[in-house]
Amino acid sequence: MPIRQILTAPDPRLREISKPVKKVDDELRALMDDMLETMYDAPGIGLAAIQVGVPLRVIVMDLSDSDDKPEPRYFVNPEILDPSEDMSVYEEGCLSVPDYFESVDRPSQCRVKYLDYDGNEQILVAQGLLATCIQHEMDHLEGVLFIDHISRLKRDRILKKLKKEQRFKKVMDEDAPTDGLLQ
């Protein structure tokens, strides 16, 4: 299962709206396997397909403690149903906005309708971290990042720093030796 490259902000692809999946087949399951592997490797607790450059409505997640048995979750074409009026606040981070964490308010509970790994329809009642995480990942499907929920001033500052870091990284990569010795 190959590990895929995770896009980081301000990559414009992260602003795309993802398309519904037509069929849960082996090709899609291969994508979900890759996404899960990529997420564990990062490491992170959730990943949307657009974060690896695939604009499809697919999310993988695992909220188990690192010492426990893995509990992978797969959501295809997820929809949020009846989000609660009461909100909870979590310090959120994102593999596409590396090294930045900000508090975000979201409904503390919701139901999620989705297709699972085998293409069967499921409904899940989500609360706590699971509710926050699924809503964070759902945002990715609409081209929204968690930093869109914070003040514009803070967001612009983060994006500016990320852009600068990427430019620096690109220069370093170009300067790296290209002979076979390092392979």
Please measure the distance between the N-terminal and C-terminal CA atoms of the chain and give it in whole angstroms: 20
Nearer to Zn ion (CB atom), residue 28 or residue 94: 94
Q: Where are the alpha helices (DSSP H) in 42-148?
A: 128-141
Nearer to Zn ion (CB atom), residue 60 or residue 94: 94
Q: In the window 133-162, what residues touch Zn ion (CB under 5 A)?
A: none
**CB of 96 vs Zn ion, minimal distance in Å:** 5
Do β-strands 58-61 and 73-81 pair in parallel, antiparallel, or remain unpaired? antiparallel
Residues 32/38/39/42 CA torsion (nearest 10 deg): 180
> Is residue 115 a contact point for Zn ion (CB under 5 A)?
no
Nearer to Zn ion (CB atom), residue 49 or residue 110: 49
CA distance 114 to 100: 29
**CB of 109 vs Zn ion, minimal distance in Å:** 20
Which residues participate in catalysis according to the annotation? 137
Which DSSP helix (H) or strand (E) runs through 33? helix 26-41
Nearer to Zn ion (CB atom), residue 31 or residue 147: 147
> Is residue 39 a contact point for Zn ion (CB under 5 A)?
no
State the residue number with the nearest CB to Zn ion: 94
Q: Which residues pair with 113 in a beta bridge?
A: 79, 123
Instruction: Tell me, residue by residue from 68 to 97, as one string, x for binding to Zn ion by CB under 5 A and - for no binding.
Output: --------------------------x---
**CB of 92 vs Zn ion, minimal distance in Å:** 8
Which DSSP helix (H) or strand (E) runs through 170? helix 152-175
Residues that bind Zn ion (CB under 5 A): 94
